[in-house]
Amino acid sequence: MIANIPASRSEVMTHLEGFLDGALPEFLKSVEDSWQPADFLPDARNESFFDEIRDLKERARELSYDLLAVLIGDTITEEALPTYESWIMSIHDVNRNPDSSWMKWNRGWTSEENRHGDLLNRYLYLTGRIDMRQMEASTQYLIADGMDIKTDDDPYRSFVYTSFQETATNVSHRRVGALAKQAGETTLSRICNFIAADEGRHAKAYKTFVKKIFEVDPSEMMLAFEDMMRKKIVMPAHYLRELGIDQGQTFGHFTDAAQRIGVYTSSDYVEIMETLIREWKISSMTGLNSAGEKARDYIMALPNRLKRVADRLRVPELQYKFKWIDS
């Protein structure tokens, strides 16, 4: 037994390594087959560089204030990558062997995610609408402050969290891309669509990990799912803050902006939960003990409860003035 994690979890994680080793090519792309940030933005080596920058800046003027605020928040959370890699490293039975499939997954996942922040940061810099120092300070805060996502270094809880979080990130990037396209900013639309595709593939991986755990340890996995739903999934953006602003205050304004333009709403939270319930076949799960059955009952009833709350939610119309945005 390691810490408070039952021995069965160690056995399950070891059991899944054989599956993961064969599945890595499905869930991760090789460096040779991967896109890179330089594929999307003007190349300073070209004579046309400054003309392309002027065109990009002109198109970026059409992005709404709320859309730009959401894009900045998304970028900051993408750039807090050291926090996520160190968190995965802390999960019991992931970090036992540097050559294990779990560690290969962690390194591959974070290497792909690293491209997202790099690309979005460069794009925002080129728009000329961002106070980059303010944004960079928020990124440093997010990494330095750390975050507690309530998974207790447990692989079962951690994979529920990442299944949910990666799915939510996919939704957010896809919708930012769609709104950018409506505004005529095709470069940003293309960027967001490629990032969303990565997030969707990563979400598929984490959801598959949970599905495989359900096959061999259904009751404990159900209890972990229930526990994370009771705690609620706290997105990394929850810990956003600006210079001179206390932690937690910026997040509320960020979510208001996201809800106003429909990028990520309380209804999306419920829909993601319903997707996980459906994909993991929670309603027809067999082999559960009495505690697992009670956990399943709680999970199955939760979406309708949360829908009633979402239906009553009213989003403030007043736009908060973020320190990140000049115009």
CA distances from 137 to 19, 32, 71, 126, 240 (A): 41, 33, 16, 18, 10
Q: Give yes or no for a contact between 93 and 2, defined as CB atoms under 8 angstroms apart.
A: yes
Are 325 and 69 in contact by the 8 Å Cβ rule? The answer is yes
DSSP string across 148-180: --S-TT-HHHHHHHHHHHHHHHHHHHHHHHHHH
> Which residues are annotated as catalytic?
35, 78, 113, 116, 166, 169, 198-199, 202
User: Could you write out the DSSP letters of every residue in 91-113?
Assistant: STTTSS-TTSHHHHHHHHHHHHH
Residue type, 241: R
- Nearest Cα residue to 273 out of 224, 307, 309: 307
2 bridge partner residues: 5
Runs of H (alpha helix) within the chain: 7-27, 49-60, 65-79, 81-90, 101-127, 132-145, 155-182, 186-216, 218-231, 249-260, 266-279, 290-312
Say which residues have a Cβ less than 8 Å from residue 320's Cβ, sequence separation at least 6: 253, 256, 257
CB 244 within 8 A of CB 204: no
